C-alpha cells in the first residue's frame, strides 16, 4: 500500500519552481528583501507542509540559490558600511565597519 501525502495548505510555490540556471540570473535583478521573502516562504513550506519528495528537493535547491544570493549580498553590504567615529580632536572620521568591529 502506497502512503498518501496530504497537502495542508496550498503552497505559493509551484512544482515547476525549481532552481534552473536561469533562476540564478533572474534573482540577480530582485531586491534583497524579495529574496529573503521567497526564502522564508520556502522554509515555511518545507517545515509545515507534507509535500512530495520531488517537490521538496526542487524547493530546497531554489532555497539554496536564494540563500547564496542573500549571503553574498549581505557580505557586500557589510563591506560598504562606514561608521562615523570621532578622532582625538572631536572631529568625525570614517572607518570601515570591519576595521572597527575587529578593534573591539
Query: Quick check: 78 pLDDT over 90?
Result: no
Secondary structure in 3-state letters for the chain: CCCCCCCCCCCCCCCCCCCCHHHHHHHCCCCHHHHHHHHHHHHHHHHHCCCCHHHHHHHHHHHHHHHHHHHHHHHHHHHHCEEEEECCCCCEEEEEHHHHHHHC
Q: Which residues pair with 85 in a beta bridge?
A: 93
The three grid cell numbers given for residue 80, joined into one nine-digit string: 560598504
* Predicted pLDDT of residue 5: 39
CA distance 98 to 77: 11
* Predicted pLDDT of residue 84: 65
Domains of the chain: which residue ranges? 21-103
Query: Quick check: 16 pLDDT over 60?
Result: no
* Predicted pLDDT of residue 91: 78
CA distance 81 to 33: 18
Higher pLDDT, 11 or 43: 43
Give 31-77 pLDDT, tens digit per residue: 999 999 999 999 999 998 788 999 999 999 999 999 999 999 998 88
Q: Which residues pair with 84 in a beta bridge?
A: 94
The packing angle between helices 53-80 and 32-48, to 10°, is 150
Amino acid at each position: 500500500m502506497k502512503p498518501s501525502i496530504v497537502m495542508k495548505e496550498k503552497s505559493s510555490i509551484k512544482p515547476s519552481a525549481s532552481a534552473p540556471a536561469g533562476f540564478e540570473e533572474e534573482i540577480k535583478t530582485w531586491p534583497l528583501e524579495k529574496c529573503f521573502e521567497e526564502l522564508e516562504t520556502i522554509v515555511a513550506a518545507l517545515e509545515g507542509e507534507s509535500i512530495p519528495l520531488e517537490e521538496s528537493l526542487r524547493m530546497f535547491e531554489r532555497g539554496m540559490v536564494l540563500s547564496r544570493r542573500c549571503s553574498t549580498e549581505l557580505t557586500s553590504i557589510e563591506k560598504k558600511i562606514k561608521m562615523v567615529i570621532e578622532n582625538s580632536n572631536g572631529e568625525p572620521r570614517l572607518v570601515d565597519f570591519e576595521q572597527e568591529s575587529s578593534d573591539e
